[in-house]
Structure 1
Amino acid sequence: MSNTRPSTAIKHQVMRSLKWVALGKIVTQVLRWAITFWVIRILSPVDYGVVAMSAVLSGFFIIILSSLFTASIIQRKDLNQVVLKQMFGAIILSHSAFFLIQYGLAEPVAAYYQSNTVSEVLKINAWCFLFLAFEVIPAALLAKNMEFKQVSLIAATSNIIAAIVTLVMAYSDFGLWSLVYGELLNNVLRCILTFLTKPTLFFPSFRTDQIRGMLRFGILLSVLSMLFYVFTNMDVAIGGRLMTPAEIGLYAIGLQVALTPQKKIMPLLRQVAFPAYAQIQDQGTLIAKYVLKVQRLCIGFTLPIFWGLASVIDVVIPLLLGDKWQGAIIPTAIMLIIMPLRFSEELFGPALKSLRRVKHMLINLCIMIAVMFVSINIGARFGATGLAFAWLCAYPLGYMLVAWRNSRILSTPFNLLIKCFIPPVLAGAGMLCMVYLVKSISFHNLALNLIVQIAVGGLSYLALINMLDKNSVKEALALVRNKGN
């Protein structure tokens, strides 16, 4: 098979898909961010602390189920109705089981956190599993066929409606329940719209003879997702035991703000990248080429976003969230500094998954968990700032270890990967210096301060990156115009 199609047809398909997903994200997130910040101003750190503690278990179960079936359906080339019927049966059984498990564990988890409200939240969230069972196959088929226009419209509709309902409930003094019911509504609406767009009009089969290989692959991915969830949530789980709800609420909001750019950009890339890599899974050289290219372009694009936000977070939080969230400024800034590394590490996932290197990914996660567990247990004893410093001190070490392992598997020289960071880091450091110099010129209006600092930071980064890595700038522009290779 020649490389012509991957370098032309697939590239154009990927770019079209990215544009649709990006458009849907931008339209949705502009409104949702505005509403989210509005809601944060209304609610208290305790409200967010309780929801964050409850989300540790419910989010853990959701991520297991999302990995168990979707990737297997996307990767399998010879799908037929018999296979889909058997998958549907397995999906119904597993989602029903997790509904019962979460409902039963609600009381013990509440006892661990010493909060009866956690139990009530978990029992309400459990109902999501029964709705999500009817979304899995339609959503996987939409992704497999790269029909991201429909996916974007569904996500935009459900997110916007749920965000508006959350705001109305917050204003009506529902407190943390506005967050709980808003998320439940989002899931229900997304399931209904996805099913109507790509209906699975057949009865489930509870046999497994045609899907055993898919289930084995899905189980491995679920184990991987479980470990990843432990890795990304053990800070709240450990901190929730050692810190007060208000402290964990400050940290949770800081983490939410720090992760916001990654949560909006990474799913966009992952959603398109895995089906694209799956189509060229037998062409290792081409995958290696695209892995380096994606790393280089994404680091150059995301680092100024994270570091730029870190440089102005002392203005952003008081302006958007209010003075009661001042305690989240330092933890947020610290977390934002390491976000480019977290973003880069996750970029390896779609390529490794397309090559079925799940065991390799499992070892990577075990390394990360071991490194971070010790650091988090120490940092959590010093409040929200200590918890953030735990990430800053330990994550770079874990990243270097797993990036070196990934470069060997993907045949991407480790020194070339490290070189991807040098121009953006230098340009980013210059940007930080310029922003902090501008902070000495203070206006009485916070919004004006923010605009000036963003303008200076953005122009500084663009000028410096163009001096340090002009070729990557030209490559990025060519890719946007759909003329790159």
Structure 2
Amino acid sequence: MSIKNKAISSFGWILTEGLFSQGFLFMVGIILARLLTPVDFGVIGIITAIIAISNSVVEGGFGSALIRKVDADTIDYNTIFYSNLTIAIIIYFFLLIGATTLAGYFDVAVLSKIIPFAGILLIINSFSIVQRAILTKVLNFKTQALISIIASFGSGLTAIIMAYQNFGIWSLVTLAILRPLLNSILLWYHSKWRPSLIFSIKSFKELFNYGYKLLITNLIHSFYRNIYYVLIGKYFNTQTLGYYTRAEQFQAPFSSNITTAIQRLSFPILSKVQNDHELLKSRFIKFLRFSMFLNFTVMFVIAAIAEPMVILLVGEKWRASILYLQLLCVPGILYPLQILHLNLLLVKGYSNLNLKLELIKKMILIPLVLGTALLGIEALLAGIVIFAFIEFFINNHYTKTIINYSLKEQLKDIIPFILLGIALFIIMYTITFIDMGYLAMVIIQLTIGITFFISTNEFIKLPEYLEIKDKIIEFFYKARKHEK
């Protein structure tokens, strides 16, 4: 199978994982939002931030180092396995000691009981980093997708049952723990690799030399991605954080799935051609255009239907999250682009430059976040939007240096998607000014939006649209042929 067909197949499986795994969890979140309170989701938001930051230390960039290393062997795998596991146990120990202090800092007593359970996630995740890296190196996203789908269904159903049985916030904790646990178990069941009593200082130093810069970068990035949970939970209240969390859970599954697909697929594919300048540039542009085509369309649609979607799916008590959702769609639009730029740096081995960039960006972020937080939650969200654009321009500078792909060229490539997305948003959002029921509103919005999107693309014939259209037609043709 050619690299193009392998890439298309892999991308299809990653999107399948997103559709069924994340899609199911999205529905689980809607059900839980109706059964639980904004305060419950606010508490989980704080837990999410703590675990995410800790987990970035556990992973330590070693997974990416293994994927990038062309000749990684069993010594490398064993060395990284024991390194990750040891770090996870140490971090978990510190979380146990600090649970009461963290509960006091946020003035949320239940955190002292939840953190010891949620912290187990770190150890669970450390067990599957090597297995996932091995599958990713050979572009085996089919197995990862199937495992993720099974884990999501199992954990999601368990959480719903617990919520109906009045377990409250513990149903959310169970969802957070059970899903990675099932994922890890299934990855071990499928994988032929098993750890041996091997540890190489030489291997550790080699991979750590690449990985430690990525570790610091990921730690900074993780802190940035979760600092809003910390700030809102500390300086506002858990109810406001619950609204923010709910808004992010409406936006993130779509933006994050596209981003995850691009990130997981682009890194191994671009790594294979890291020394071929022209081929690297052409494939990077292909990934960029495709991700922007998908993400601009999806995010503008989400922003347009935010009001009827929130009220219909989770109820009037979550109305405050509508504006949060619309604002979060803007950085959500640019998120895949940011990750793709950073992937390029890592593919070329510039983990030190990647770290430098993160430090520069966060030096800009900290005063921006602290300043806007003093003005209220809406101002804080506006700060997130502003920083997303700042980050885009900073990242692009080094992309031009590495593959000679200038900002002007990049904007020229994505302007058609921007204009199409804005036009789509205006046409769909206009319907919200008409007095009608929310169900009728969202049906009309989607009908008009889909009609406009298809007819416009049929007229301007964007290559990305035509490629997706051809693959859909091919899929149905094969399905019909198989039935006969």
Change (3 A) 1:431 1:80: closer
CA distance in 1, matches of 2:91, 2:228: 24
Given residue 137 of structure 1, which amino acid in structure 2 is its aligned partner? Answer: V
C-alpha displacement of 1:452: 1.0
C-alpha displacement of 1:116: 1.9
Aligned to 2:156: 163
Q: Could you tell me whether the CA contact under 8 Å between 1:231 and 1:365 is conserved in 2?
A: no
CA distance in 2, matches of 1:268, 1:395: 20
Question: What secondary structure, in the 3-state scheme, does the structure 2 residue paired with 1:115 have?
Answer: coil
CA distance in 2, matches of 1:132, 1:297: 30
Q: Could you tell me whether the CA contact under 8 Å between 1:72 and 1:218 is conserved in 2?
A: yes
Q: Could you tell me whether the CA contact under 8 Å between 2:214 and 2:354 is conserved in 1?
A: no
C-alpha distance after superposition, 1:54-105 (max 9, x if no partner): 2212111112323432112212222333333323332332222122122222
Question: What secondary structure, in the 3-state scheme, does the structure 1 residue paired with 2:288 have?
Answer: helix
Q: Unaligned stretches of 5+ in structure 2? A: 475-484
Given residue 443 of structure 2, which amino acid in structure 1 is its aligned partner? Answer: I
C-alpha distance after superposition, 1:108-157 (max 9, x if no partner): 22222112212222111122233333212212111112221111111111
Aligned to 1:20: 13
Given residue 306 of structure 1, which amino acid in structure 2 is its aligned partner? Answer: M
TM-score under structure 1 length normalisation: 0.92
Find 2:369's aligned residue among 373, 376, 390. Answer: 376
Find 1:253's aligned residue among 246, 259, 263. Answer: 246
C-alpha displacement of 1:351: 2.4
Given residue 196 of structure 2, which amino acid in structure 1 is its aligned partner? Answer: F
Given residue 191 of structure 2, which amino acid in structure 1 is its aligned partner? Answer: K
Aligned to 2:482: none
CA distance in 2, matches of 1:90, 1:194: 19
Q: Could you tell me whether the CA contact under 8 Å between 1:128 and 1:184 is conserved in 2?
A: yes
C-alpha displacement of 1:474: 3.5
C-alpha distance after superposition, 1:201-258 (max 9, x if no partner): 3433344123311122121111110011111111222222210111121112112222
Q: Could you tell me whether the CA contact under 8 Å between 2:233 and 2:241 is conserved in 1?
A: yes
1:325 paired with 2:349, answer: no
C-alpha displacement of 1:435: 1.6
1:309 paired with 2:309, answer: no
Aligned to 2:114: 121
- Between 394-403 and 163-172, report the one with greater CA deviation: 394-403
CA distance in 1, matches of 2:472, 2:209: 38
C-alpha displacement of 1:481: 7.8
Q: Number of matched residues?
A: 474
CA distance in 1, matches of 2:374, 2:346: 37
1:228 paired with 2:228, answer: no
Q: Could you tell me whether the CA contact under 8 Å between 1:331 and 1:385 is conserved in 2?
A: yes
C-alpha distance after superposition, 1:6-63 (max 9, x if no partner): xx82111111111222223222233222221111111111111111112212111112
C-alpha displacement of 1:405: 2.8
C-alpha distance after superposition, 1:372-412 (max 9, x if no partner): 32222233234432221121233313322222232322321
Cα-Cα RMSD = 2.1
CA distance in 1, matches of 2:364, 2:472: 38
Given residue 44 of structure 1, which amino acid in structure 2 is its aligned partner? Answer: T
Aligned to 2:67: 74
1:340 paired with 2:322, answer: no
Q: Unaligned stretches of 5+ in structure 1? A: 1-7
Change (3 A) 1:74 1:121: same
Q: Could you tell me whether the CA contact under 8 Å between 2:68 and 2:268 is conserved in 1?
A: yes
CA distance in 1, matches of 2:29, 2:123: 27
Aligned to 1:3: none
Given residue 73 of structure 2, which amino acid in structure 1 is its aligned partner? Answer: N
Aligned to 1:448: 440
Given residue 130 of structure 2, which amino acid in structure 1 is its aligned partner? Answer: I
- Between 24-33 and 273-282, report the one with greater CA deviation: 24-33
Equivalent positions of 1:149-228 (< 5 A) are 149-228=142-221
Change (3 A) 1:95 1:475: same
C-alpha displacement of 1:163: 0.6
C-alpha displacement of 1:198: 0.6
Aligned to 1:98: 91
Q: Could you tell me whether the CA contact under 8 Å between 2:344 and 2:399 is conserved in 1?
A: no
TM-score under structure 2 length normalisation: 0.92
Change (3 A) 1:401 1:85: closer
Aligned to 1:5: none
Percent of aligned pairs sharing the same letter: 18
- Between 415-424 and 43-52, report the one with greater CA deviation: 415-424
Q: Could you tell me whether the CA contact under 8 Å between 2:59 and 2:126 is conserved in 1?
A: no
